[in-house]
Amino acid sequence: MSERAAPIACRPVTPDDAAAITDLFGANSICRGCWCMHWRVEKGGKSWQACWGEPNRRAFLKLLKQGQVQGALAFAEDKPVGWCNFGPREDFPRLKRSRVLAYKPTPQTWSVNCFFITAGWRKRGIAGALLKTAAKTAFDRGARVLEAYPTPQKPGQNLVAPFAWTGTRALFAKAGFKPSAENERVWVKKRR
């Protein structure tokens, strides 16, 4: 079966997914440094630089093994091709420090804050499928509100993948998210 015809399956991450995530992130220079720890490290600057690379990898895999990582993985057959990071807002201390994303969450607010789709698999609806899995999983696990931070873009502007890592407005709008009344950079979706 060709890559183009391979069906995509998404599911929540488990503590046993270290190999899949290492396969997905390990070959990509951006992910290889971040390891989806950006929002988990409280401060940027020198604190973030000190964590870049191997320290982030170790910290992320330790959290995964302990069952403290929420996420969704996309697979084409048995090959991981996409990732969406989400979880309770308090799992991401950097959000509290962000002036741009200042927002007063309600209790049981969860954050959908990172996407990664492998080159060659983008623009196939994988981010939407990951978001659907993330939202269902978060609501099933007790979230009352999901918040997201779509990358600002001008109408008709095509974003280069590394700059769309928090998702796009179109992605979240299609999934039923709306800009919050408090901060237009923070989009929300409430559990029905």
- In the chain, the number of structural domains is 1
Candidate from 64-68, 116-120, 153-157, 175-179 with smallest mean pLDDT = 153-157
Are the C-beta atoms of residues 24 and 116 closer than 8 Å to each other? yes
Q: By C-alpha distance, which of 40, 50, 45, 72 is closest to 139?
A: 72
The residue segments making up the domain with residue 51 are: 3-190
Kindly indicate the confidence band of residue 159, based on its pLDDT and cuts at 50, 70 and 90. Answer: low
Q: Which residue has the tokens 């396969």?
A: 23
Query: Which amino acid makes up residue 72?
Result: A
Global confidence as pTM: 0.91
The CATH number covering residue 24 comes to 3.40.630.30
Determine contact, residues 147/105, Cβ cutoff 8 Å.
yes
